[in-house]
Structure 1
Amino acid sequence: MRKYLLFEKYARTVVLTGILLLSVFISATAQEMIQVSGTITARDNNTTLPGANVLQQGTTNGTVTDVNGKFTISVPSNSKLVFSFIGYLTQEVDVSNRTTINITLETDLTTLEEVVVVGYGVVKRSDVTGSVVSLKKDELTPGANINVQQSLQGRVAGVQVIQRTGEPGSTMDVRVRGVSSIAAGNDPLYVIDGMPVNNTAPVGSSGVNGVANNPNVRSPMNSINPADIESIEILKDASATAIYGARGSNGVIIITTKKGNTGGLKVSYNVQYGISKRSNKLDLLTGEEYRDVLNGIIDAGGGVAGERVTNEVVNVDWQEELSRTGTLRTHDLNFSGGKDNTKYYVSLGFFGQEGVLKASGSDRYSLRVNIENSVPQKYAFGVNINASYMHDQFNAVGTGVNENGGALYSAIYYDPTYPVYDANGNYNRSPFFPTTIDHPLAMIDGQYSNSDNYRTFASMYGEYFLMKGLSAKVRVAGDFNTTRRNSWVDPTTIIGRGTGGTAQINAGTVNYYMGEGTLNFNRDFGSDHAINAVLGTTYEHFGSNSIFVRGQGYTAPDLTYDAIGSGNTALNAIGSGRQSAVIVSFLGRVNYTLKNKYLITASFRADGSSRFGPNNRFGYFPAIAAAWKIHEEGFLSGTTFIDELKLRASYGSIGNQNIANYIYFATYGAVSSGPVFNGTRSTLFQPSRLANPDLKWEAANQADIGVDFSFYERRISGSVEYYLRNTSDLLLDLPKPLSTGFGSQTVNIGGMRNSGIDLTLNGDVIRNKNFTWNLGTVLSTVRNRVTSLGPLQQIFVGGVGFIANPGIIKVGESIASYYGYRVIGVWQTDDDFTGWSTAIRPGDLKFEDLDGNKVIDANDRQILGKPLPDYTYGITNTFKYKNATLSIFFEGAQGGSLLNAVAVDSYFPVSFRRNRLADLYLNRWTPENPTNEYPSFINPTSQGQQLVNSKTVEDASYLRLQSIQLNYNFNLKKGPFTSIQAFVTAQNLFTLTNYTGIDPAVSSTGADYIKIDYSAYPMTRNLLFGLNFQL
């Protein structure tokens, strides 16, 4: 009994002690409640998130953020907070006794319903019925894009971006699903914030009468600062582009710029600096090789005996003499915010690029202002202004000799055994080129040009809601683009000697005005029916004027073009021009959705253009599309791995009106063959062009069928689609009988077909809390065929320099296929020469004799290749680990060809003492080296000049590591900055190709559908470092 009482006493003591200790612990814990404050922002746009949820894990203790995204909550110091917001990934964070916690939420792609901008409106991505690709700002490789077009390169299926050269500011060709026109252009329509952009350059590219100017037109899109872009939508099929009618046949690229968001002032500053080196240079003969090769050819009976190279030579690399390390500099500062119903965005930008060749570069200064005021379902009003100033410095580049030549062409051509300077420090000019090719550095110093461009986009809109779901909207906009280009040829240069110096000013202005009015309807009728419709009209006016002034014979050449009238007034020349055009349009579109499963889109546009004849001034462009959301069907309700499965199809008509003004008019020209009055022959005006009142649009009918899909919580997503586009009524110059007195007349007679497959595939190879690896691939095929040329059999195109018309347009073939002679080997000593020309010797090229007459002539030409590749592709690997992101991007093309005009010069040199490609001559045929690959070059014209042949038309397939970018985000808890992002980017790291020229993607000259590499400005390899500050 006593033991039991002792035990009971002991137990009671233990229990009481435990209760006391527990009470103390609970009391101590309760005393560790702290107040936590912070701000929640979105990673994708760095804006605050009002109404985001903040919850203490495992409890009902929570709060929401205010209008500025800020929160305050009292929680235990060792608790865990859960942050969530619709459309973003939830985050769990340990408090760990902190009183300030700032959170950045990532976009949740599995739940977000993305909005896509289409013509004259927006739709949910899941409701798109046409072929539309949307790129958001985070997908545009931030900080690494020099211009808008570059951001599309290799990233969109069905879109090919061709960088003609590596010259700062040079234009880039964008082709949506191939080439569909011969004479009316193949550029897509750009629409910026609802305003179609007139991309006509105010000043042409080439010089006039001996002024060496730059053949590469500056792209008008250079005036857009890529840092201001919020999203880019590419409309590819007729259903999506028909709403733009006669301007939509080559695709439409819609650019939406950044706007303000409600909340306090947000400031962002981006700075980057980079260096550039030429990525490649031509492998030419060195001084010693040049001496041995040329003297060897002379010893073998070829060449010019009086042009033997002396034994003692120097070794000058003229390409290096012109080169330097270029720089890239960017500063972007923007302010955004909003209060109540008003939002604003203001940005200031500077971009400067110093070229890798001397005397070349480009600077851009930009300003953008966007202000919007709106009350939902009542009204909206907005103003958008973009102003830019660009200064370009042009390197003297070109092809051929004299005024057509350029410094780079001279560097490739020039004798490598001559020192750069003579004993007196002057340029050491070769006596073998006294009147043809100048010293490369003399051209850099004495032949140059620059330009100043001022451009302003301005638009203003007002929208008023007449009733629920119905609004009326009016937009007025203008695009004002002015350029002045100055050119100077110094009298110390070869070309300037004969003129006493030449100065020239080309100035021009292109203005565009637009007014449009639309009625917009968007309403759901119960849960089964929804209608989104637009009805409107537009008026567009295009105007331009230009003037050029040229002077020659300057006694004070230091004044150059700044005193253009100080030369010999008898040699002055002046010219000017003015033109305009108008388009009036009526448009409509209806999107109908049934039970969120079945979608139909119908659109129509009527365009009337002053550019066409009075008998065919209006064109009509209908389109229809349908889509079926298969994943919404009940029979797939038990299938958990399908997130989206949508089948869509479309058909429509689109047009092309991108031709010069007044072509349908009869015109008259002045000739100096009039009657003689008082001993002087008078000027006579006579008809120079035959009128065509029936001239009309180029028209295209396009059909598409495609599937959009995503599986396993969007770990795998993409689309695949097939398209077929038939273009008719192509504008061509039809030769007329001599009896008419006219050479040709512009008529609608041609036809062309494009078909292909666009594939987009994205997959999260790894996706977990701290690490993701996303693999994205785009692949595009295009098959182009000319289907009709009317009564014409063929058209030869693309001549440059002394290479006449290397391309042929022929029914059944791809447009502008290379047409020339196929090399089947080299004539060998033991070959049978019977019946062949006695001029042919062992070591000469052997061409395929198609007609078997043992004479190589024009009848032996054949198709050697085509400029358009069979397919293009892009591969992006993106790795994210916590706050670090690594992106690796490859792009390439397969199956296209390129005419290497530098190789043409080496096979058929116009001057014996010019330099040549090393591989050809170091491995040339000799009796001791009877190769079947390269000729002896002793007698290159024994069978004529077969300039375009299977040696000079090369395979241009390539795979390029286009960029590697590493980003790191510092999420700061203290200080004035909410975040700092650091990045390093390397561009154009290497290219795998069999092409022997400067780069397989260049197109330095020629029409936009034929590629020719002729002393192209070299591509660059860039290394950039940058910082982005947010506060």
Structure 2
Amino acid sequence: MKKITFAALAVPLMWVLLLLLFFNSNKLHAQETTVLSGVVKTADGTPIEGVTVWQQNTDNGTQTNEQGFYTLSISPNAVIVFEYIGYKTQTVKASGSILNVTLTADDDMLDEVVINAGYYSVKDKERTGSISKITAKEIGQQPVANPLAAMQGRMAGVNITQSSGTPGGGFDIQIRGRNSLRTEGNAPLYIVDGVPFLSDTNSTGDLSVEILRSTANNPLQLINPNDIESIEVLKDADATAIYGSRGANGVVLITTKKGTNQPTVFSLQSHTAIGVVPNFMNLMNSGEYLQMRRDAFANDKIAEYPANAYDMNGTWDANRYTDWQQQLIGGKAVSQQVSASVRGGDKRNSFMVQASTAKDGTVFPGDYGNKRKNILAQFSHITDDEKWNISTQFVRGESDNRLLGVDLTRDALTLAPNAPALYNPDGSLNWENGTWNNPLRWTNQTYNAKNVQWLTAWNLEGKLTRSLTFKAVAGYNEMNGDEWKIIPHTIYNPAMGLTSANSSSMQGITKASVWNLEPQLHFHEQFGRHKVTALVGTTFLKQSNAKQVWRASNFGSDAQIQNFLAAKTLRLMTNMANEYAYQAVFTRLNYMYDDRFIVNITGRRDGSSRFGPNKRWGNFGAVGAAWLFSREKIFEDSSWLSFGKLRASYGTTGSDRIGDYQYLDTYQYSGGVYEGGGLAPARLYNPDFSWETNRKMEAAMELSLFNNRVSLSAAYYRNVSGNQLVGVPLPGTTGFASVLANLPAEVENTGWEFEFKYRVLSGNDWNWSLFGNWSSNRNKLLEFPGLDASTYKNMYTIGQPTSMIYVYDYTGTDPVSGAYTFRDVNGDGVWNAADDKKRIVDLTPRYSAGIGSEASYRNWSLDLLFHAVKQQGANAALGFGMPGTFTNQPADALSVSAQQPSAGYNNDFNAAYSRYAQSQQAFTDASFIRLKNVTLAYSIPRVFASKLSGRIYISGQNVFTWTNYKGLDPESQGITSLPPLRVWSAGFILNY
């Protein structure tokens, strides 16, 4: 039974309290003053934090909060001034108790919009690189546990896929395509508050794969989305080259929230969410299923049903029907979160402390879920002479993920519809005399992962001279994991007579840490029309990783199953300890002439312990240029062009994501019976093992039209990744199949990216804006010397994408035999993979897009986001196995063109179906358009003597999906894992 805690009840209780306070608040104010309140937004409807609101000719003033909300006690009919850098100051006479204001940009609107580029910040108008950004507004309004889910559909060129709807499940992110031939070599670099974030998963596949189904990187699961102020993604060479060997696959910069130089504000935030599987498959009912099974046995010429055909031979009730999808994955995942914060400061100090607790439930039977705790703390201080600034951030996340041992999705789809009941009359699990494996046996097998990750960052900045500034960033990030998989003998039928001697448990212990130190010098000077900024710095980094995996079995009692001392058999499966050292020198030179022409040059020299002594150091760099043509005299009086920029960049970045010690001679335990075994060589020494390199080129245009009412941008890029880190085949006489080396293979990614914003309405009451993005990436293998003679010949082909797959060419169904048929490529009458798998299926997404709407009327707002992807995906129907066997099937499995059903006793049908599952029919159109998020919110105007403000909202995630895909979900695909859930949440934010 799902538990609903105080957090769940807090939402409706707080709503009642807020309404009572709202209707009684007018009685709390004196008659000689008026409490004025409202929301300040930009022209596109985005609330602005930090707007100065004051009564003209007085010292009476305040600032807007995160929601753009303010309250101010004023004299009747006073004149109110609204000021914010980069926007025109507005002066309005108050004529009531509510005054909403829309600030319009000045003539140089983008000049004051600052983008975080990592080692430096740049005005958005003056950047020469490709950087996408989302803020706390987009992140915080979505009921998600992982910020990666909030990024989906909001950034051009950033493709994010959620692999599972189970708490703690993985996400995959690719920025402008797949550069490396190795899957693990395509992950971006993550930086949190200037500190490299430990982004590799600490899950052990043997422990987690049955429930999480994917151990893909999920680096942000221990960061509370509400702790994040902004996320910037660096994409092109100009933006990423300053990160050198770590920027080949893009850089994700995460900035946490900070304190403010204003009076202390206390905040309380809570929401409760309900998640359900958004779509069930249309499967056969008992009558359809049993008829299929009868036809299958008839096709196999079997008149008497086998003893183990319990669904057919009368052992099970033929009239019984159970909707297993409802029974096993049809529950409601209750999620709750509460966070509290205090922040503020004065002219020289600022601080913020925020703590939160949450639990994300599951749709499976039982009380499972992921409990999370997060702490964020920040402090900064400016010296009295305003020359030095020191700040520190501390981010900590803790999770306790308790789940059943196996994802029940596959059982929910494939169990025979006339299978027995789950429970006996006495409430015990029903094993139906040993004729089936009750799917709820997996609730006795448990998976538990406890993870703690914390990060601290120190920033020191001081003015040495008027033009020269010293900066230093130091940080430490540590991650600890304790993972258990408990396999008691109770997952088996009691009739088997098993005891705790047949029970086992596995434990994975991981620890990783990284520290970095980056001293820097920044220079800025202006000489007439010439502006020069420069920086030079160095990086010192040290990372260590350790992992142990134990397996224990043969216990005296299941009560001691997590006590390895009680096990008669104990085995160390993995024992690993690695260290990684990295050092770099980097520089940047930026030159601007006449506020129109910009050149940006970056360079970096990196050294990594992961490479051989002959190639340990690598050089990377880029040049970017921009022309702000809207500042030319010809456009000075233009009524339609507000801003225009052409920019281009070219450079190289690199990658050392290959793991540690790969270039060294290594040895492993050989086993064997002679004197207990010994050591055997596992890898050959390669002193020339070195960097993967990525050459990046981009050209782009950015426009703002009609007084910034319409904003457009278009970019074309071409990335070529070479020097691929792969296993190069060796002759058998060497005793090794391959040696890890740099192969001169090249992978190309080309694509287009488009973004737009359109301010439809703008006023004091009504505001409405539209925004969107569209991107398309084409991946292609340009070169691969010796491909035909290598072990990769059946994986890749020149001129095709690296995500391709070779398949049999399906040609239809034989009208005589009723079996599937395929093209015999070499005409020898035999089908085998090497000779006949020649058809190519491209699994690269063709394009992705996002389009959103932000509308507001006074204190009400409605935000929508649609996400669309055009792609091929895995055919879910193939996951059920051959129609006619002992598994349920989709209702349309026996279509006219399908192979005749078989119970598995016809070898010709078996072989044909096996090839069918390896043909183009194994893939299908998995394109979709999804209403990713919808949020309806109300900003509370004023309560409790004007000091209490807030916002109440209802939000939906994965609300509805339009697709022709016939599986559970076109994003996660397949039938083995729980799809992303449809989530509805209700919550509030209070500030005092």
In the superposition, the TM-score normalised over structure 1's length comes to: 0.85
1:972-1009 per-position Cα deviation (integer Å, ceiling 9, x unaligned): 16536442211111121221222222211116xxxxxx
**Equivalent runs, 1:262-661 vs 2, <5 Å:** 262-301=261-300, 305-306=305-306, 307=309, 308-310=312-314, 312-323=318-329, 324-358=331-365, 360-375=368-383, 378-397=387-406, 407-419=408-420, 420-422=422-424, 425-429=427-431, 438-443=437-442, 445-494=443-492, 497=498, 500-526=502-528, 528-561=529-562, 563-567=563-567, 569-573=568-572, 575-661=574-660
Aligned to 2:787: 792
Q: Does 1:950 align with 2:920?
A: yes
Provide the C-alpha distance between the structure 1 equivalents of 2:87 and 2:267, rounded to a whole number of angstroms.
Answer: 22
Structure 1 counterpart of 2:772, from 777, 784, 787:
777
Structure 1 counterpart of 2:700, from 697, 706, 719:
706
- Kindly report the root-mean-square deviation, in angstroms, between the aligned alpha carbons of the 2 structures: 2.9
1:943-989 per-position Cα deviation (integer Å, ceiling 9, x unaligned): 47212222221111111111111111112165364422111111212
Worse overlay, 354-363 or 735-744: 354-363
* Paired AA for residue 188 in structure 1: P
Aligned to 1:883: 859
Asked if structure 1 preserves the Cα contact closer than 8 Å seen for 2:883 and 2:901, the reply is no
Asked if structure 1 preserves the Cα contact closer than 8 Å seen for 2:814 and 2:821, the reply is yes
Asked if structure 2 preserves the Cα contact closer than 8 Å seen for 1:352 and 1:363, the reply is yes
Asked if structure 2 preserves the Cα contact closer than 8 Å seen for 1:228 and 1:257, the reply is yes
CA, structure 1 residues 430+181, in 2 after alignment: closer, same or farther (shift >3 Å)?
Answer: farther
Provide the C-alpha distance between the structure 2 equivalents of 1:345 and 1:864, rounded to a whole number of angstroms.
Answer: 55
Provide the C-alpha distance between the structure 1 equivalents of 2:273 and 2:72, rounded to a whole number of angstroms.
Answer: 43
Aligned to 2:114: 115
| Secondary structure at 1:294 match in 2 | helix
Q: Does 1:898 align with 2:873?
A: yes
Asked if structure 2 preserves the Cα contact closer than 8 Å seen for 1:971 and 1:978, the reply is no
Asked if structure 1 preserves the Cα contact closer than 8 Å seen for 2:850 and 2:868, the reply is yes
Aligned to 2:929: 959
Aligned to 1:1010: none
Provide the C-alpha distance between the structure 2 equivalents of 1:460 and 1:760, rounded to a whole number of angstroms.
Answer: 36
Asked if structure 1 preserves the Cα contact closer than 8 Å seen for 2:200 and 2:217, the reply is no
Q: Does 1:683 align with 2:691?
A: no
Asked if structure 1 preserves the Cα contact closer than 8 Å seen for 2:930 and 2:961, the reply is yes
What's the offset of the Cα at 1:73? Answer: 10
* Paired AA for residue 923 in structure 2: V
**Equivalent runs, 1:961-976 vs 2, <5 Å:** 961-972=931-942, 974-975=944-945
* Paired AA for residue 820 in structure 1: V
Aligned to 1:916: 889
| Secondary structure at 1:140 match in 2 | helix
Provide the C-alpha distance between the structure 2 equivalents of 1:133 and 1:672, rounded to a whole number of angstroms.
Answer: 52
1:207-237 per-position Cα deviation (integer Å, ceiling 9, x unaligned): 39x9988644572311111112111111110
Provide the C-alpha distance between the structure 2 equivalents of 1:603 and 1:537, rounded to a whole number of angstroms.
Answer: 13
Structure 1 counterpart of 2:953, from 975, 979, 983:
983
| Secondary structure at 1:849 match in 2 | coil
What's the offset of the Cα at 1:79? Answer: 6.6
Provide the C-alpha distance between the structure 2 equivalents of 1:134 and 1:212, rounded to a whole number of angstroms.
Answer: 33
Asked if structure 1 preserves the Cα contact closer than 8 Å seen for 2:403 and 2:446, the reply is yes
Provide the C-alpha distance between the structure 2 equivalents of 1:416 and 1:740, rounded to a whole number of angstroms.
Answer: 56
Q: Does 1:809 align with 2:796?
A: yes
Provide the C-alpha distance between the structure 2 equivalents of 1:453 and 1:776, rounded to a whole number of angstroms.
Answer: 38
CA, structure 1 residues 71+565, in 2 after alignment: closer, same or farther (shift >3 Å)?
Answer: closer
Aligned to 2:202: 202
CA, structure 1 residues 312+72, in 2 after alignment: closer, same or farther (shift >3 Å)?
Answer: closer
- State percent identity of aligned pairs: 25
| Secondary structure at 1:179 match in 2 | coil
CA, structure 1 residues 735+529, in 2 after alignment: closer, same or farther (shift >3 Å)?
Answer: same
Gaps of 5+ in 2: 1-30, 65-69
| Secondary structure at 2:707 match in 1 | coil
Asked if structure 2 preserves the Cα contact closer than 8 Å seen for 1:42 and 1:48, the reply is no
Provide the C-alpha distance between the structure 2 equivalents of 1:795 and 1:353, rounded to a whole number of angstroms.
Answer: 47
Aligned to 1:14: none
What's the offset of the Cα at 1:564? Answer: 2.8
* Paired AA for residue 810 in structure 1: T
Provide the C-alpha distance between the structure 2 equivalents of 1:551 and 1:71, rounded to a whole number of angstroms.
Answer: 63
* Paired AA for residue 506 in structure 1: G
Aligned to 1:24: none
Asked if structure 2 preserves the Cα contact closer than 8 Å seen for 1:47 and 1:261, the reply is no
CA, structure 1 residues 592+482, in 2 after alignment: closer, same or farther (shift >3 Å)?
Answer: same
Aligned length in residues: 927
What's the offset of the Cα at 1:1017? Answer: 1.4
Q: Does 1:822 align with 2:818?
A: no
Aligned to 2:9: none
* Paired AA for residue 245 in structure 2: A
Asked if structure 2 preserves the Cα contact closer than 8 Å seen for 1:965 and 1:985, the reply is yes
CA, structure 1 residues 863+268, in 2 after alignment: closer, same or farther (shift >3 Å)?
Answer: farther
* Paired AA for residue 774 in structure 1: S
What's the offset of the Cα at 1:815? Answer: 1.2
| Secondary structure at 2:137 match in 1 | helix
Provide the C-alpha distance between the structure 1 equivalents of 2:351 and 2:569, rounded to a whole number of angstroms.
Answer: 57
Asked if structure 1 preserves the Cα contact closer than 8 Å seen for 2:143 and 2:983, the reply is no
What's the offset of the Cα at 1:638? Answer: 2.6
* Paired AA for residue 539 in structure 2: T
Provide the C-alpha distance between the structure 1 equivalents of 2:237 and 2:301, rounded to a whole number of angstroms.
Answer: 60
CA, structure 1 residues 743+227, in 2 after alignment: closer, same or farther (shift >3 Å)?
Answer: same
| Secondary structure at 1:185 match in 2 | helix
What's the offset of the Cα at 1:700? Answer: 0.5
Asked if structure 2 preserves the Cα contact closer than 8 Å seen for 1:706 and 1:720, the reply is yes
CA, structure 1 residues 538+78, in 2 after alignment: closer, same or farther (shift >3 Å)?
Answer: closer
**CA radius of gyration, larger in:** 1
* Paired AA for residue 882 in structure 2: Y
CA, structure 1 residues 816+935, in 2 after alignment: closer, same or farther (shift >3 Å)?
Answer: farther
What's the offset of the Cα at 1:650? Answer: 0.2
Worse overlay, 941-950 or 473-482: 941-950
Asked if structure 1 preserves the Cα contact closer than 8 Å seen for 2:51 and 2:83, the reply is no
Aligned to 1:755: 750
Aligned to 1:224: 223
| Secondary structure at 1:264 match in 2 | coil
What's the offset of the Cα at 1:309? Answer: 4.5
Provide the C-alpha distance between the structure 2 equivalents of 1:1000 and 1:319, rounded to a whole number of angstroms.
Answer: 18
Aligned to 2:3: none
Q: Does 1:1016 align with 2:980?
A: no
- By relative contact order (CA 8 Å, sep 6+), the higher-ranking structure is 2
In the superposition, the TM-score normalised over structure 2's length comes to: 0.88
CA, structure 1 residues 796+104, in 2 after alignment: closer, same or farther (shift >3 Å)?
Answer: farther
CA, structure 1 residues 732+994, in 2 after alignment: closer, same or farther (shift >3 Å)?
Answer: same
